[in-house]
Amino acid sequence: MTPRIERLREYTVSKLQADGWKEIDWSKSPELVFTPDDSHIQRALRCFLAVLKEEEKNVRFVPEEQIVFTRTVKNLPRRYTTVEMNALRSQAYYHELGVVFNLTVDYESALICGLDALREQTVSRLKQAVSENDSEGIEFLEAVIMGIDGVCSLADSYCSEAERLGLSDVAKRLKQVPHKPARTFLEALQMIRILHFALWCEGTYHNGVGRVDQYLFPYLQADLIAGRIDQDSALEYLEEFFLSFNRDSDLYVGVQQGDNGQSLMLGGCDLQGNDACNLLTELALEASGELRLIDPKINLRVNKNTSIELLKKATALTKLGLGFPQYANDDVVIPGLLKLGYELRDARNYTVAACWEFIIPGVGMDIPNIAAVSFPAIVDASLRFAEQNCCESFDGFLDIVRQLLFQEADAIERRLGDVRMLPCPFTSALCKGQISAARDASSGSKYNNFGVHGTGCAPAVDSLAAIKKLVFDEKQLTISEFIGILDSNFKDSEKVLATVRNECPKMGRDDSSADDLAVKLLNWFADSMEGRKNCRGGIFRAGTGSAMYYVQHPSEIPASPDGRLQDEFFPANYAPSLGVQTKGPLAVVRSFTKPDLERVVNGGPLTMELHDSVFRTSESIEKVARMVQFFINRGGSQLQLNTINRDSLLDAQKNPANYRNLIVRVWGWSGYFVELDKPYQDQIIKRAELTF
């Protein structure tokens, strides 16, 4: 890290940029006084332009920066009052904030053509829409043009201020981008920064940047060949680019600080199926390791042919405790996407959404986190159904579990019978096909699939194993007696609690009696979603992720048969139950790769916590990298590793000022431990620390 980057890093982590943030009273803006006749697009556009105009008033430059644009507006204007939004939600389902979100736009095409050319395309398409009397298309295209003009005007303001301050190099770049195509690596980085900045200003959130080592590499390669920069300079610019993701992130939407969706993808194959790893792949890993910040979130695509050397470089980040890279296995993900109907070219180009759900850059308007099924709740409901219907065999009990899974899928499909989104015209203009279609991405894109999480897989499997052992095999308890124990939270049933916790099969120990149940459960989950069409013309995708549901779902049921007490959390994502003593990470990998993960490819990583003592030997990097390789060869789909020390985490709760930069993996993102709410901190502390 150069001294300049060190100073920029200190500026960012010290949050000096916050001195320029301002809260805007948007109620005093006459252009934001809406009437019932104002359309969704008109409201979106006027809010977007209002933010850009405020930013023009407060153009800021951080000392020594080369990649500019720093946000000053803390709060975005509301398109709708609470009453108005509630009225909309009474008519249809609007997910989360209701706007377009959780996507990656087509940065590659924007870099190649520039916004002026995109504007010309829009003007040309507008003439066609006018001739066709397409009122909806006219409104959208006019909004795109005005949005592009607003972004370019802000860039021009930065350019003028740079000239006034004598920042000639910065001004020169801003005269080129975003108006015209990027010509150099630094221009490309600057243009992405501007576009990414604009997406957040429009209200689009959880904006990923996709496969940066693919669409940026041609610019780097050309600069290196021409001698404009060397590899050290490239690393310095890339580190500054990465720093920019942390500059405004405190202002971004998320469940917790750090949950902002700023993910990028490295590696994998190209559109022809060839290995696409390059110099920029390695530089990105190096930059992330030197900066040690939570953004951008690093994901790495791998396969059976990925070199051990690349895995060792990735493992070096894990050693630092960053919680990334998160691995995605092309050998599983691409075939899984093909089975779901994605074209081969698109499947090979996949990236991740905010956390780990798989999406296609530029053409994906999937909602990959629209619903979730609580597997332990299904088991609990099955117990009660079995009691009422005098179930006499474990096979009969499993039939009930399968039946209730399908009923839950039916309920989800009914609940999502009319899903709508609020538009974001500028964001849509950066997506493939939306200008030619003259329609906002909120109305649909090439892919419009719904992702459904499956939470608490291991607790559900462990519960099934306990029911099989105690009720059906050994007949220690009747179903009614077991239900009574659960409803009492194991009160006065310490012996039963000890038995289910310590003497019953557990997923994560490479025990076939438990793992075979996991195979069944996930297959039934996939079966329950397969073949369903959603209201937007897409399909339903099953996955093994949890998002925040691992905290929310446990409160919906009493204690569970695996020994989880009432209100105790599920594990995050696809992981052993909290407190389960496994037989080491390899046994965990074996257990969690036995199901056919191609069938649950919405996303959801096997999540493991490694004790930091794992990395105290000289061979540690090699061992962990070999474990990742083992995971790939076993057919795992996604893997995220967190390096933690329980004693340090406990001390951080007591003395947060001493652990300002302590980073942990939360569910699909990394955050600063001391900034998390206590329930999330407590759940992380309870996760198993694995050693070899």
pLDDT in tens, 90-110: 999 999 999 999 999 999 999
**Residue 275 to residues 271, 300, 324, 334, 542, Cα–Cα distance (Å):** 10, 13, 21, 14, 28
- The reply to whether 392 and 494 lie within a common domain is yes
State residue 668's pLDDT score: 73
What gap in Å lies between CA 322 and CA 663, rounded to an integer? 6
- The reply to whether 287 and 392 lie within a common domain is no
State residue 692's pLDDT score: 62
Structure tokens at 84: 């108005």
State residue 659's pLDDT score: 81
- The reply to whether 512 and 565 lie within a common domain is yes
Structure tokens at 304: 């059976």
Answer yes or no: are the C-beta atoms of 361 and 210 closer than 8 Å. yes
Closest CA to 352 of 268, 437, 444: 268
3-state secondary structure of 164: helix
In this prediction the pTM is 0.95
Residue 558 counted as domain residue: yes
Residue range(s) defining the domain that contains residue 200 = 1-209
Rounded to the nearest 10°, the torsion over CA 669, 672, 678, 683 is 50
Residue 129 counted as domain residue: yes
Residue 595 counted as domain residue: no
Long-range contacts of residues 128-131, Cβ cutoff 8 Å, at least 24 apart: 128/438, 129/438
Residue 361 counted as domain residue: no
What gap in Å lies between CA 436 and CA 456, rounded to an integer? 43
- The reply to whether 185 and 223 lie within a common domain is no
What gap in Å lies between CA 547 and CA 668, rounded to an integer? 7
What gap in Å lies between CA 469 and CA 463, rounded to an integer? 10
Report the number of distinct structural domains present in the chain: 3
Q: Which of 581, 597, 621 is the last residue of a domain?
A: 581
Answer yes or no: are the C-beta atoms of 354 and 206 closer than 8 Å. yes
Answer yes or no: are the C-beta atoms of 557 and 374 closer than 8 Å. yes
What gap in Å lies between CA 425 and CA 436, rounded to an integer? 13
- The reply to whether 278 and 371 lie within a common domain is no
Closest CA to 532 of 348, 408, 363: 408
- What is the biggest distance separating any 2 CA atoms in the chain, rounded to whole angstroms? 83
Residue 591 counted as domain residue: no
Answer yes or no: are the C-beta atoms of 182 and 173 closer than 8 Å. no
Weakly modelled stretches of the chain, pLDDT under 50: none
Identify the burial level of 664 via C-beta atoms within 10 angstroms of its C-beta, where 0-12 means exposed, 13-18 middle and 19 or more buried. buried
Answer yes or no: are the C-beta atoms of 76 and 41 closer than 8 Å. no
- The reply to whether 163 and 274 lie within a common domain is no
Residue type at 40 in one-letter notation = H
Q: Which of 209, 243, 260 is the last residue of a domain?
A: 209
State residue 12's pLDDT score: 95
Residues in the chain: 692
Answer yes or no: are the C-beta atoms of 191 and 182 closer than 8 Å. yes
- In 340-374, which residue ranges form alpha helices assigned H by DSSP? 344-347
Residue 596 counted as domain residue: no
Q: Which of 209, 226, 246 is the last residue of a domain?
A: 209
- The reply to whether 200 and 241 lie within a common domain is no
What gap in Å lies between CA 590 and CA 515, rounded to an integer? 9
Closest CA to 330 of 300, 359, 357, 366: 300
- The reply to whether 382 and 330 lie within a common domain is no
What gap in Å lies between CA 624 and CA 627, rounded to an integer? 5
What gap in Å lies between CA 434 and CA 444, rounded to an integer? 9
- The reply to whether 494 and 372 lie within a common domain is yes
- The reply to whether 379 and 317 lie within a common domain is no
Q: E strand or H helix at 97, and its extent?
A: strand 93-99
- The reply to whether 490 and 384 lie within a common domain is yes
Identify the burial level of 95 via C-beta atoms within 10 angstroms of its C-beta, where 0-12 means exposed, 13-18 middle and 19 or more buried. middle
3-state secondary structure of 371: strand
Residue 600 counted as domain residue: no
**Residue 59 to residues 26, 73, 164, 191, 669, Cα–Cα distance (Å):** 19, 11, 12, 17, 31
Closest CA to 367 of 142, 98, 609: 98
For 239-289, how does the pLDDT look when each residue is reduced to its tens digit (9 = 90+)? 999 999 999 999 988 767 678 889 999 999 999 999 999 999 999 999 999
Structure tokens at 499: 């038995």
Place of tokens 């986190």: 369
Identify the burial level of 147 via C-beta atoms within 10 angstroms of its C-beta, where 0-12 means exposed, 13-18 middle and 19 or more buried. buried
Backbone angles phi, psi at 97, to 5 degrees: -80, -10
State residue 616's pLDDT score: 82
Residue 440 counted as domain residue: yes
Structure tokens at 308: 């051990």
- The reply to whether 7 and 86 lie within a common domain is yes
